[in-house]
A and B are shown apart, each in its own frame.
Chain A
Amino acid sequence: MRPFERQKRRKKKKGKDQRGQVFHEESSPLFHDLQKNLNKIREELGHSTDLVVREFEWDGERKIRFAAVYIDGLVDNNMVGDFIMKSLMLESRDDRQTISRKTAFDRVQENGLAVGEVKITRDWNGLILSILCGETVILMDGWDEAISCGTKGGEKRPIDEPTSQVVIRGPRDSFTESIRTNTALVRRRVKSPNLWLETMRIGKVTQTDVSLMYIKGIVDEKIVREVKNRLERIQIDSILESGYIEEMIRDSAFSLFPTLYMTERPDVIAGNLLEGRVAILVDGTPFALVVPALLNQFFQTTEDYYQNYWISGFLRFVRYGAFLLSLLTPSLYIAATTFHHAMIPTTFLITLVAQREGIPFPAFVEALIMELMFEILREAGIRLPRPVGQAVSIVGAIVLGEAAVRAGLVSPAMVIVVAITAIASFSAPSYNLAITARLLRFLFMLVGASFGLFGIALLLIVVLAHLSSLRSFGVPYLSPLAPFVFSDQKDTVFRFPWWSLITRPRLISQKNMTRMEKDLRPSPPDKPTEGEGNEK
Chain B
Amino acid sequence: MKSKRLIPIVLTLVLLTTGCWNRIELEELAVIIALSVDKVRPGLYRVTFQEVNPSGVAPQQSGGSGQAVAVRTFSGTGPTFLEAARKASRKISRRMFVAHTRLLVIGEAMAREGIGDPLDIFQRDNELRLNTIMLIAKGKAETVLNTLTPVTKIPALSLTKSMERTEERWGENIEVDIQEVVKALASEGRDPAISGVFVVGKPEEGSKIDNVTNTKTPTYPIISGVAMFKGDRLTHWIKGSEARGLLWIRDKIRGTAINLTCRKEKKTNVVEVFRSKTRVQAEPERGKPKIRITIEPEAQMEEVHCPIDLNNPEEITRLEKQMEKVIKKEVEATVNTAQKQRSDIFGFGEVIRRADPKTWKKIKKDWDRQFANTDVDVEVKALIRHTNRIKQPMTIQKG
Chain A residues proximal to chain B, CB less than 8 Å: 337-339, 341-342, 346-347, 349-359, 362-363, 406, 446-447, 449-451, 455
CB of A116, distance to nearest CB on chain B (Å): 60
Distance of A446 Cα from B15 Cα, bound (Å): 9
A342 x B26 contact (CB < 8 A) = no
Cβ 8 A contact of B19, one of A337, A357, A451: A451
B23 x A341 contact (CB < 8 A) = no
B27 x A359 contact (CB < 8 A) = yes
Contacts of B16 in A (CB 8 A): 450
Contacts of B58 in A (CB 8 A): 350-351, 353-355
CB of B280, distance to nearest CB on chain A (Å): 35
**B279 interfacial contact with A, CB 8 Å:** no
- A341-B26, A357-B27, A363-B26 given; name 15 further pairs at CB < 8 Å: A338-B20, A338-B25, A339-B24, A341-B24, A341-B97, A350-B54, A350-B57, A351-B54, A353-B29, A353-B54, A354-B60, A363-B25, A449-B20, A449-B23, A450-B16
Given A341-B99, A450-B15 in contact, is the A354-B55 Cβ separation under 8 Å? Answer: yes
B26 x A352 contact (CB < 8 A) = yes
CB of B63, distance to nearest CB on chain A (Å): 11
Contacts of B26 in A (CB 8 A): 337-338, 341, 349, 352-353, 356, 363
Q: Which of A339, A349, A350, A356 has the most CB of B within 10 A?
A: A350
CB of B8, distance to nearest CB on chain A (Å): 13
Cβ 8 A contact of A342, one of B23, B100, B102: B100
- Between A and B, 28 residue pairs with Cβ closer than 8 Å are A337-B25, A337-B26, A338-B20, A338-B26, A342-B99, A342-B127, A346-B31, A346-B33, A346-B157, A349-B26, A350-B52, A353-B26, A353-B31, A353-B52, A353-B54, A356-B25, A356-B26, A356-B27, A357-B54, A357-B55, A362-B23, A362-B25, A363-B26, A446-B15, A450-B15, A450-B16, A450-B18, A451-B19
**B59 interfacial contact with A, CB 8 Å:** yes
Given A341-B26, A342-B100, A353-B26 in contact, is the A450-B19 Cβ separation under 8 Å? Answer: yes
**B22 interfacial contact with A, CB 8 Å:** yes
CB of B173, distance to nearest CB on chain A (Å): 22
Distance of A531 Cα from B63 Cα, bound (Å): 84
Q: In the complex, which residue of chain A has the Cβ closest to the Cβ of B15?
A: A450
Contacts of B59 in A (CB 8 A): 351
CB of B97, distance to nearest CB on chain A (Å): 6
Segment 49-106 of B: residues with Cβ below 8 Å from A: 52, 54-55, 57-60, 62, 97, 99-100, 102
Segment 1-60 of B: residues with Cβ below 8 Å from A: 15-16, 18-20, 22-27, 29, 31, 33, 52, 54-55, 57-60
Contacts of B54 in A (CB 8 A): 350-351, 353-354, 357
Contacts of B27 in A (CB 8 A): 353, 356-359
CB of A375, distance to nearest CB on chain B (Å): 22
Q: In the complex, which residue of chain B has the Cβ closest to the Cβ of A337?
A: B26
Distance of A363 Cα from B24 Cα, bound (Å): 10
Q: In the complex, which residue of chain A has the Cβ closest to the Cβ of B22?
A: A339
How many B residues are at the interface, by size bracket? 20 to 34
Contacts of B29 in A (CB 8 A): 341, 353
CB of A475, distance to nearest CB on chain B (Å): 32
Q: In the complex, which residue of chain A has the Cβ closest to the Cβ of B4?
A: A1
Contacts of A349 in B (CB 8 A): 26, 31, 100
Q: In the complex, which residue of chain B has the Cβ closest to the Cβ of A363?
A: B25
Contacts of A351 in B (CB 8 A): 54, 57-59
CB of B375, distance to nearest CB on chain A (Å): 46
B22 x A346 contact (CB < 8 A) = no
CB of B69, distance to nearest CB on chain A (Å): 14
Specify the main secondary structure of chain A where it touches its partner.
helix
Contacts of B154 in A (CB 8 A): 350
Q: Which of B19, B25, B33, B55 has the most CB of A within 10 A?
A: B25
Distance of A338 Cα from B154 Cα, bound (Å): 24
Distance of A463 Cα from B90 Cα, bound (Å): 45
Q: In the complex, which residue of chain A has the Cβ closest to the Cβ of B5?
A: A1
Q: In the complex, which residue of chain B has the Cβ closest to the Cβ of A455?
A: B19
CB of A404, distance to nearest CB on chain B (Å): 13
B127 x A354 contact (CB < 8 A) = no
Distance of A363 Cα from B55 Cα, bound (Å): 19
CB of B192, distance to nearest CB on chain A (Å): 25
Contacts of A346 in B (CB 8 A): 31, 33, 100, 102, 157
CB of A361, distance to nearest CB on chain B (Å): 9
Distance of A347 Cα from B52 Cα, bound (Å): 10
Q: Mark B299-314, 1 if CB is under 8 A from A, else 0.
A: 0000000000000000
CB of A410, distance to nearest CB on chain B (Å): 13
A354 x B19 contact (CB < 8 A) = no
Contacts of A363 in B (CB 8 A): 25-26
Closest 6 CB pairs of A and B: A450-B19, A354-B58, A354-B54, A342-B99, A353-B54, A351-B58
Contacts of A451 in B (CB 8 A): 19
Contacts of A455 in B (CB 8 A): 19
Distance of A455 Cα from B16 Cα, bound (Å): 13
CB of B258, distance to nearest CB on chain A (Å): 36
CB of B184, distance to nearest CB on chain A (Å): 26
Contacts of B18 in A (CB 8 A): 450
Contacts of A355 in B (CB 8 A): 58
A354 x B33 contact (CB < 8 A) = no
Distance of A354 Cα from B24 Cα, bound (Å): 15
Distance of A347 Cα from B16 Cα, bound (Å): 32
B19 x A449 contact (CB < 8 A) = yes
Distance of A349 Cα from B154 Cα, bound (Å): 14
Distance of A449 Cα from B24 Cα, bound (Å): 11
Distance of A450 Cα from B16 Cα, bound (Å): 7
Distance of A164 Cα from B354 Cα, bound (Å): 69
Contacts of A357 in B (CB 8 A): 27, 54-55
Contacts of B22 in A (CB 8 A): 339
Q: In the complex, which residue of chain B has the Cβ closest to the Cβ of A361?
A: B25
CB of A403, distance to nearest CB on chain B (Å): 13
CB of A473, distance to nearest CB on chain B (Å): 30
CB of B26, distance to nearest CB on chain A (Å): 5
CB of B164, distance to nearest CB on chain A (Å): 15
CB of A457, distance to nearest CB on chain B (Å): 14
A338 x B23 contact (CB < 8 A) = yes
Distance of A406 Cα from B61 Cα, bound (Å): 9
Q: In the complex, which residue of chain B has the Cβ closest to the Cβ of A451?
A: B19
CB of A63, distance to nearest CB on chain B (Å): 74
Contacts of A406 in B (CB 8 A): 62
Distance of A353 Cα from B70 Cα, bound (Å): 13
B20 x A450 contact (CB < 8 A) = yes
Contacts of B157 in A (CB 8 A): 346-347
CB of A414, distance to nearest CB on chain B (Å): 11
Contacts of A362 in B (CB 8 A): 23, 25
Distance of A355 Cα from B27 Cα, bound (Å): 9
CB of B209, distance to nearest CB on chain A (Å): 18
Distance of A432 Cα from B35 Cα, bound (Å): 53
Contacts of B127 in A (CB 8 A): 342
Distance of A350 Cα from B59 Cα, bound (Å): 10
Contacts of A449 in B (CB 8 A): 19-20, 23
CB of B136, distance to nearest CB on chain A (Å): 23
Q: Which of A346, A352, A447 has the most CB of B within 10 A?
A: A346
Distance of A351 Cα from B26 Cα, bound (Å): 10
Distance of A337 Cα from B99 Cα, bound (Å): 14
Contacts of B31 in A (CB 8 A): 346, 349-350, 353
Contacts of A354 in B (CB 8 A): 54-55, 57-58, 60
A339 x B25 contact (CB < 8 A) = no
Q: In the complex, which residue of chain A has the Cβ closest to the Cβ of B127?
A: A342
B100 x A339 contact (CB < 8 A) = no
Distance of A337 Cα from B25 Cα, bound (Å): 7
